[in-house]
Structure 1
Amino acid sequence: MEHLYVFLVLGFLAVCPPLQACPQDCHCHGGNLQHVICYSTGLNKMPKVSEQTRLLNLQHNNFPVLAPNSFKEMKGLVSLHLQHCRIQEIATGAFRGLKKLVYLYLSHNDISVVGLGAFDDLSELTYLYMEHNKIVDLPKGLFSPLMNLFTLQLSNNKVRELKAGTFNGAKDLRWLYVSDNEMTSLQPGSLDEVENLAIFHLDGNQLNSYPLAAISKLRVVEDLKLSRNPIKFIPDLAFQSFGRYMESLSMNNMGIEKFSDKAFLGVKVLKSLNIGENRLNHLPANAPYSTLQNLTLSNNPWQCSCQLAALRRFDTYSSRLNPDATCAGPSQYRGQQLKDTNAFRGCKQSAKKTRKGERY
């Protein structure tokens, strides 16, 4: 009888191995180490966790290189936190086997090298955060495995350009942040694969001309930021491809001298426009004032002549205007706020014939 008992116990252990212990100095929650928190524990190699672990938090440790198959025993991971881990390089196949991973946090490291194939197997990855690193180049095909990627955060890196094919495979990308990089160009074709972007932040780069060839491939952008790029001229049809959807446009502190007369053609639902801190003295007559809820015009050398009189076409204009917008000329109106000046009093408004059934 005793032998039978031992046999049954050994059989049970073979089928159900003992639960793994929580890694030293870490905190674990849930059965089978479902949540493992190793925050700032001095780790320099990957801890052993269960295949049932869903969340692994390794923030503030030391992993200079993420080698191939670094997480091969962690096949159940859904969320992986590697912020502030002094990572310099991500090798090809570093995340191989993480086929259930949805959230990957790699921000605030020193990453300068990302091997082609680094994201192999991450077909379920939806949110990828890589801001505040030293990434210079994004190889063609790097994001190809990420067919479900929704958010890509690449701000505060050293990326110099977006090349054709950069986003091949990432067709579901909707939110793209590449603010505060060193980009001088967006090559034609660089955004062809991500035409459904809804948020596109390009502010704080070194673009010196409006990237019309690349950006006209976008169809549904709702929030576009181009602030702090040295672009002097905004051309015709700059926003037409997504003008039916764009609600927020930030173009402040760029040195813009002129918007082309047809720059805003197709813009229908714009709610917020920030063009402060530029060199503008007038705006196109068809600028989309009627839908705006927030309008910032401050610190531009506005010429308060009839060419700018369209600002007064709407009765509620003065309540939506940044009060710091002032006239730089003519001399008799210099220093007066646009919302209060009499400079436009004698301007004639062009009458538009309204067709039957048309509303304004």
Structure 2
Amino acid sequence: MNRSGCFLSVLSLLACLISVVQACPPSCHCHGGDLQHVICDNAGLKKIPKVPEQTRLLNLQKNNFPVLPTNGFRDMKKLVSLHLQSSRIKEISTGAFRGLKNLVYLYLTDNQISVIKPGAFDDLSELTYLYLDQNKIPDLSKGILSPLVNLFILHLGSNKIRELKAGVFSGAKDLRWLFLSDNSLTNLLPGALEDVENLAVLHLDKNQLSSYPVSAMSKLRVLEELKLSHNPIEVIPDNAFQSFGRYMQTLHLDNMKLKK
């Protein structure tokens, strides 16, 4: 190879190296093969950064994103795991996660979320684990979870949910673990659980249930673990757990006001 050819090769190599370096957002560090993991935790960010298109894990914990905007993650098509814990999020816009068709893990724990717009979870057809605990969610609108056809575990503990309405879990037919501890639940309306009849684990402890929601619970067929602790329930009907059959293994009824 002549000298000019060598020089061009070196320039090409430098251009590639510069491209890789620039691909990692400022205030973040990237690692893993082809920069697949992008870590931007506690970086003082106020906008969702642009990341390499091959990114599979994006850690944005402890930043400042009051509103997750529409299409904020649209170009991150290979993303599998998204961490947004403790990022002062108050609102999730319609289509906030649009384009994330390969996302499996979504962590939104310890924010201030009180508004989830219709269509917020559009495109999340592969999502399996959703963490929404430790927020300020007052209710869940009908169909809000309908895009989540592969959802397996849903954490909603430590929110302000007052009531579960019929159709609230429409579409999430594969949901198996549902955590609703430490909310303000006073009622589970008939039909609230009819779309998730295959639940195996249900935590309803530390709520304000004054009576056992017989109609809603009767839709469950294979429940293995039920927590009702720390509710002001006084009476549980004799046939309350009949629909669970032989599957029930663990039942928590401590710190209640049971008379029967």
What is the TM-score normalised by the length of structure 2? Answer: 0.93
Report the AA paired with residue 39 of structure 1: D
Matched, 1:97 2:96: no
Report the AA paired with residue 152 of structure 2: F
Q: What is aligned with 2:189?
A: 187
Query: Where in structure 1 do 4 or more consecutive aligned residues deviate above 6 Å?
Result: 1-13
Q: What is aligned with 2:168?
A: 166
8 Å Cα contact 2:24-2:52 kept in structure 1:
no
Q: What is aligned with 1:210?
A: 212
| Structure 1 residue ranges without an equivalent (≥5) | 259-360
Q: Tell me how far apart the structure 2 counterparts of residues 24 and 99 of structure 1 sit (CA, whole Å).
A: 26
Q: Tell me how far apart the structure 1 counterparts of residues 168 and 13 of structure 2 sit (CA, whole Å).
A: 52
Q: How does 1:269-348 map to 2 (within 5 A)?
A: none
Q: What is aligned with 1:26?
A: 28
Q: What is aligned with 1:127?
A: 129
Q: 1:231 offset after TM fit, Å?
A: 0.7
Q: Tell me how far apart the structure 2 counterparts of residues 71 and 6 of structure 1 sit (CA, whole Å).
A: 39
RMSD: 2.4
8 Å Cα contact 2:23-2:52 kept in structure 1:
no
Specify which of 24, 44, 47 is matched with residue 45 of structure 1: 47
Specify which of 60, 68, 86 is matched with residue 62 of structure 2: 60
Q: 1:179 offset after TM fit, Å?
A: 0.5
Q: Tell me how far apart the structure 2 counterparts of residues 164 and 7 of structure 1 sit (CA, whole Å).
A: 66
Q: Tell me how far apart the structure 1 counterparts of residues 166 and 255 of structure 2 sit (CA, whole Å).
A: 28
Specify which of 241, 244, 252 is matched with residue 242 of structure 1: 244
Q: What is aligned with 2:255?
A: 253
Q: Tell me how far apart the structure 2 counterparts of residues 108 and 239 of structure 1 sit (CA, whole Å).
A: 33
Report the AA paired with residue 37 of structure 1: I
Q: Tell me how far apart the structure 1 counterparts of residues 38 and 59 of structure 2 sit (CA, whole Å).
A: 6
* SS of alignment partner, residue 243 of structure 1: helix
Report the AA paired with residue 193 of structure 1: D
8 Å Cα contact 2:101-2:126 kept in structure 1:
yes
Report the AA paired with residue 258 of structure 2: I
Identity of aligned residues (%): 67
8 Å Cα contact 1:125-1:149 kept in structure 2:
yes
Q: What is aligned with 1:225?
A: 227
Specify which of 76, 79, 82 is matched with residue 81 of structure 2: 79
Q: Tell me how far apart the structure 1 counterparts of residues 121 and 180 of structure 2 sit (CA, whole Å).
A: 19
| Structure 2 residue ranges without an equivalent (≥5) | none
Report the AA paired with residue 89 of structure 1: E
Q: 1:12 to 1:24 in 2, by over 3 A?
A: closer
Q: How does 1:103-142 map to 2 (within 5 A)?
A: 103-142=105-144
Q: 1:256 to 1:112 in 2, by over 3 A?
A: same
Q: 1:243 offset after TM fit, Å?
A: 3.0
Q: What is aligned with 1:302?
A: none
Report the AA paired with residue 209 of structure 1: S
Q: 1:27 offset after TM fit, Å?
A: 1.7
Report the AA paired with residue 189 of structure 1: G
Q: 1:28 offset after TM fit, Å?
A: 0.9
Q: What is aligned with 1:143?
A: 145
Q: Tell me how far apart the structure 2 counterparts of residues 3 and 38 of structure 1 sit (CA, whole Å).
A: 41
Report the AA paired with residue 160 of structure 1: R
Q: 1:254 offset after TM fit, Å?
A: 1.0
Q: 1:25 offset after TM fit, Å?
A: 2.1
8 Å Cα contact 1:33-1:49 kept in structure 2:
no
Q: 1:236 offset after TM fit, Å?
A: 2.1
